[in-house]
Amino acid sequence: MAIGQERVPVFGGSQGAVPDLAGRNRVLRNTYALLAVSMIPTVLGAWIGVRTGFSFFAGSPVIGFVVFLAGAFGFMFAIERFKNSGIGVALLLGFTFFMGLMLSRLIGMVLGMSNGGTLVMTAFGGTAAIFGAMATVATVSKRDFSGLGKWLFIGVIMLLLAAFANIFLQLPALMLTISVLAIVIFSAYMLYDLQRVVNGGETNYVTATLAVYLDVYNVFSNLLALLGIFGGDRE
């Protein structure tokens, strides 16, 4: 499982008056543009990781899990700190490279299957379809989804605890359950985060991009893991 979003109080939306429609549309456009750019270092990091056989504390999953979370949250706190400057954008792109590198082991395993390339493209297409659906609902729906926030946060905490516990338990059923729930929770988080931008609850496109990026990343990685388990052809 990937990390569970930057769902700590410090990463709430920017405070201040709600911007007008033009301002909200500008934040949304900038968020989509930066999200698209963030995919470049992600792909680069994943490619380098696959090519070099990158392994992050493979011999000690517990240490790897803790160090990964420490590094990821360190990046996120730094991005929040510098979100109003170009440094924040640079840190965000550095973070997405780091996340791509961390994803490389899963991608490498899937690409080792005879139909691995198809599975990666299927996961990408499925993630894009989910994102498109959530973005559409967030933009056109008049329903307020802000109440989902606290429940989704609790869900992410439970996922992290379950993922950590499964390092020791090694239960395939629990791993599958975690992946399915992660796809559901982070798909809902896409809706929540995008509607916050649409409604003016988030006025900084750097932190908005960070939130949506993590939603997309978690959906893709868990969808790819499920496809590898159920659809992979092992030679």
pLDDT at 13: 37
Spatial distance between the Cα atoms of 221 and 2, rounded to a whole number of angstroms: 7
Look up the pTM and report it.
Answer: 0.90
Q: Give the mean pLDDT per block of 10 residues along the chain (235 residues).
A: 41 49 91 97 97 82 90 96 96 98 94 94 97 96 93 96 94 96 97 95 96 98 95 69
Cα–Cα dist 98/104, whole Å: 10
Q: What is the dihedral of CA 54, 59, 63, 66, to 10 degrees?
A: 40
CA 54 → CA 48, 64, 106, distances in Å?
8, 13, 11
Predicted confidence at residue 15, as pLDDT, reads: 42
Look at residue 16 in the predicted model and tell me its pLDDT.
47
Instruction: Give me the pLDDT at residue 60, please.
Output: 84
Can you give the C-alpha Rg of the chain in angstroms? Answer: 17
Helix ranges (DSSP H) in the chain: 21-52, 61-81, 86-111, 116-140, 148-169, 172-198, 205-231
Every domain of the chain and the residues it spans: 19-231
H or E element at residue 127? helix 116-140
Spatial CB neighbours of 204, under 8 Å, sequence gap ≥ 6: 13, 14, 27, 83, 84
Query: Rounded to a whole number, what is the distance in angstroms from the first to the last CA of the chain?
Result: 25
CA distances from 18 to 25, 138, 195 (A): 12, 17, 13
